Amino acid sequence: MNELELIRSFPFFEHLTYADLAKIAPLFITREYDKGTIVFHEADEGDELYLIQSGIIHIYRNDENREIILSVLSEGDFFGEMALLESVRDRAASARAIEKPVLYVLKRRDFICMLMHNPLICLKILETALSRLSKANEVIMDLTLFDARTRIVRTLLRLIEQHGTRKPEGFLIAFKLTHQQLADMSGTVRETVTKVMQDLQCSELIQVNKKIILVRDPDKLKQSVGL
């Protein structure tokens, strides 16, 4: 996939012609990050949008000295869009590189220039941003509404909805997840995740191989916690 095809693969650029893409492609800067690098911290002033060419990014917030992972992003996803859409541009969450990502970066000044010629881009980014905000609120609501086991199951279901690949045996979450990361996504502790994951494997609802999770049947997994 060449650079223009890659940019067009992002949903808010898919309506552009190749002539339009050729004009905006030089505005993007390519950056690579080592695993564990913080791309930006919560409350940092932001003026960049990031498109993920490859790798994994975690978006998270700190709450009472612990991390809550709000979303896991991979190839074809983007983040940092609110810094381009809001007049107050403090980052609402932090972003960390998990699997050595390669990012395309767009500065706010270039984004504004781009909108003058392609205003539909802003609408498409706003639609996605609102959808993400709804999902982040869902994660936070889970912490108050459900017990730990149900939160873990709901986290797995969200992951297969967003990143799952259909296989003959079920739905594969195609990147590695540690028990600590699942704990940070579901607002519990690693020991609880370990116990629940063992129970789910014994019940043949999931399969785990080298930290790669396969959900055999999402409906049965839902039913196991009364969803």
- For residue 158, the domain's CATH number is 1.10.10.10
Mean pLDDT, consecutive 10-residue stretches, the chain (227 aa), reads 80 84 90 95 90 93 84 89 74 91 91 82 80 78 88 94 92 92 93 96 94 94 90
Asked if 117 and 218 sit in the same domain, the reply is: no
Per the structure, how many domains does the chain have? 2
What pLDDT is recorded for position 224?
A: 94
Which of 141, 167, 183 marks a domain boundary? Answer: 141
Asked if 50 and 135 sit in the same domain, the reply is: yes
What pLDDT is recorded for position 87?
A: 64
> Position of tokens 């993920």?
52
Can you give the residue range of the structural domain that contains 209?
146-224
Asked if 104 and 161 sit in the same domain, the reply is: no
| Torsion angle of the four alpha carbons 83, 140, 202, 160, in this order, in degrees rounded to the nearest 10 | -40
Report the interhelical angle of 179-186 vs 190-202 (nearest 10°): 110
Asked if 29 and 79 sit in the same domain, the reply is: yes
Which of 141, 175, 190 marks a domain boundary? Answer: 141
What pLDDT is recorded for position 212?
A: 93
What pLDDT is recorded for position 222?
A: 94
